[in-house]
């Protein structure tokens, strides 16, 4: 994504106009899923469908293959973080979220996911930090504000 478009989309995430925020959010997700073209996006969706069907080994294998073949495919790392989170493998999910963020520091999905994982293992201060970072990118994402309050109550 060209720097000017990235800057505009990041600004739109902070807009008071909900339609602009929604459009920017959708465009980010589209860009992330299609970073490696239509085939990469298809494989991510295939993995998601397998996960939803309870075919965990197959879903995980697709993500592992994508990452091995294209280690800079941030959304493959993010989807694998979700995969591990859903299985209660929070520490592994944290590592995958960190990889996403090394590739795309403004990936609000990975920031949110990192917060969820940190909260799940009882690292409430780290969770709050991740949710605050997510809010810095997407200040109208009220779920992150709610989760900060919940984590704060756990301290």
Can you give the three-state secondary structure of 99-146, one letter per residue? HHHHHCCCCHHHHHHHHHHHHHCCCHHHHHHHHHHHHHHCCCCHHHHH
Average pLDDT over residues 57-86: 97
Average pLDDT over residues 136-150: 97
- If you average pLDDT over every residue of the chain, what do you get? 97
Which of 9, 57, 56 shows the shortest CA–CA distance to 32?
A: 9
Q: Is 87 helix (H, G, I), strand (E, B) or coil?
A: coil
Q: What is the pLDDT of residue 7?
A: 97
Average pLDDT over residues 54-72: 97
Cβ-based neighbours of 126, under 8 Å, separated by 6 or more: 118
Question: Where are the domains positioned within the chain?
Answer: 3-154
Q: What is the pLDDT of residue 1?
A: 82
* pLDDT value at 138 more than 90: yes
* pLDDT, tens digit, 9 for 90 and up, residues 35-52: 999 999 999 999 999 999
Average pLDDT over residues 74-79: 98
Q: What is the pLDDT of residue 146?
A: 97
Decide: 151 and 128 in contact? Cβ < 8 Å.
Answer: yes
Q: What is the pLDDT of residue 150?
A: 97
Q: In whole angstroms, give the CA distance from residue 144 to residue 123.
A: 16
Which class would CATH give 3-154? mainly alpha
Provide the residue count of the chain. 155
Q: What is the DSSP string of 50-81?
A: HHHTT-HHHHHHHHHHHHHH-TT-HHHHHHHH
In order of 22, 29, 72, 99, 145, the CA distances from 136 in angstroms are 16, 18, 24, 19, 11
* pLDDT value at 141 more than 90: yes
Q: What is the pLDDT of residue 130?
A: 98
Decide: 130 and 111 in contact? Cβ < 8 Å.
Answer: yes
Cβ-based neighbours of 153, under 8 Å, separated by 6 or more: none
């Amino acid at each position: 994504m060209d720097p000017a478009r990235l800057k505009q989309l990041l600004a739109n995430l902070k807009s008071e106009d909900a339609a602009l925020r929604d459009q920017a959010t959708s465009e980010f997700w589209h860009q992330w899923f299609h970073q490696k073209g239509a085939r990469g996006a298809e494989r991510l969706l295939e993995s998601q469908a397998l996960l939803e069907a309870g075919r965990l080994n197959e879903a995980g294998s697709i993500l592992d293959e994508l990452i091995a073949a294209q280690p800079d495919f941030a959304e493959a790392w993010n989807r694998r973080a979700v995969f591990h989170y859903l299985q209660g493998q929070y520490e592994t999910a944290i590592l995958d979220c960190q990889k996403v963020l090394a590739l795309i520091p403004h990936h609000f999905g990975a920031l949110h996911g990192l917060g969820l994982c940190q909260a799940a293992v009882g690292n409430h201060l780290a969770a709050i930090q991740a949710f605050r970072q997510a809010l810095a990118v997407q200040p109208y994402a009220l779920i992150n504000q709610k989760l900060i309050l919940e984590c704060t109550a756990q301290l």
